[in-house]
Amino acid sequence: MRFYIMTLFPDMVMNGLGTSITGRAMEKDLLGVEAVNIRDYAFNKHNSVDDYPYGGGAGMLMQAEPVYQAYNAVKEKVGRSPRVVYLSPQGRTFHQEMAEELAREEELVLLCGHYEGIDERVLEEIVTDYVSIGDYVLTGGELPAMVIVDAVSRLVPGVLHNDVSAEFDSFQDNLLEYPQYSRPEVWHGKQVPPVLLSGHHANVEKWRREQSVIRTARNRPDLLEKADLDETEKELVRKVLGRDIY
């Protein structure tokens, strides 16, 4: 899978994504991440890419033309019109199913606004998907773009070392992860749950599943709506919540 990240801060995204698991996947060519510097497509002698908003107001806006030229360069390179995701609090809130859907694309363009955003007219022409990573205001779309590249990349076959780990993760079955423990057996007086040391694999799996259900009921009961629970697990949810949600 190839990502093209259109940004005024290419170092920020390349330094971030070039690190750890995504960085290793880039080295192995399982993943292509290319930062497209919008400033390279500035059309005036001062290389500026922002201007004041018509009608007044605080801050600067990224101009339409450099963004459009940068997009056309990507389109030429790819040889077709790829999906273009614009990161904005006005978009649909990102979730795991969206990551799964985006992971089916060959190429994906992520457009990062900075300052007060981008001239609406170029967004109308090139953006196919408006996506938010949550209800808070950031200074730019770079961190959201990195979040999306990270979440999508780990679904690309081979990116995670353990190829089963992606499907057993939180949200795959709409339950939170169970607690995990490593050595030592006792730390700050706290024992590792004995079942995990028993070597009884079926009991370990049963305990983990119960822990996932309990955690989800306590911390994210909203997720249970989409979780597939048997009657025993639903009873456990009633016990934890002290009420019936089924």
Min CB(143)–ligand 4HQ separation in Å: 8
Tell me: is residue 150 an annotated ligand-binding position: no
Nearer Cβ to ligand 4HQ (145/227): 145
Min CB(234)–ligand 4HQ separation in Å: 35
Q: Could you give the CA distance from residue 72 to residue 6 in angstroms, rounded to a whole number?
A: 11
Tell me: is residue 137 an annotated ligand-binding position: yes
Min CB(188)–ligand 4HQ separation in Å: 37
Tell me: is residue 134 an annotated ligand-binding position: yes
Please report, as ranges, the residues that interact with ligand 4HQ according to CB under 6 A: 87-89, 113-114, 117, 132-134, 136-138, 140-141, 144
Contact 110, 4 (CB under 8 A): yes
Beta-carbon contacts of residue 117 (< 8 Å; ≥ 6 apart): 61, 62, 88
Point out the catalytic residue in the list 39, 83, 154, 220: 154
Nearer Cβ to ligand 4HQ (27/51): 51
Point out the catalytic residue in the list 34, 100, 105, 116: 116
Nearer Cβ to ligand 4HQ (88/212): 88
Reply yes or no on whether 142 is catalytic. Answer: no
Point out the catalytic residue in the list 24, 34, 53, 89: 89
Reply yes or no on whether 89 is catalytic. Answer: yes
Nearer Cβ to ligand 4HQ (123/237): 123
Tell me: is residue 138 an annotated ligand-binding position: yes
| CA-wise closest residue to 7 among 30, 34, 32, 29 | 34
- Please state, in angstroms and as integers, the Cα–Cα distance from residue 203 to each residue in 72, 171, 193, following that order: 57, 22, 12
| Burial category of 5 from C-beta neighbours within 10 Å (exposed 0-12, middle 13-18, buried 19 and up) | buried
Tell me: is residue 245 an annotated ligand-binding position: no
Min CB(27)–ligand 4HQ separation in Å: 28
Q: Could you give the CA distance from residue 211 to residue 20 in angstroms, rounded to a whole number?
A: 29
- Prior bond to 193 cis, omega within 30? no
Point out the catalytic residue in the list 34, 65, 100, 169: 169
Reply yes or no on whether 177 is catalytic. Answer: no
Tell me: is residue 204 an annotated ligand-binding position: no
Q: What is the DSSP string of 63-89?
A: -HHHHHHHHHHHHHHHTS--EEEEEEE
Cα-Cα-Cα-Cα dihedral sign, residues 63, 58, 92, 98: positive
Tokens of 165: 């780990």
Reply yes or no on whether 154 is catalytic. Answer: yes
**What are the catalytic residues?**
89, 116, 154, 169
Residues at the binding site for S-adenosyl-L-methionine are 113, 133-138
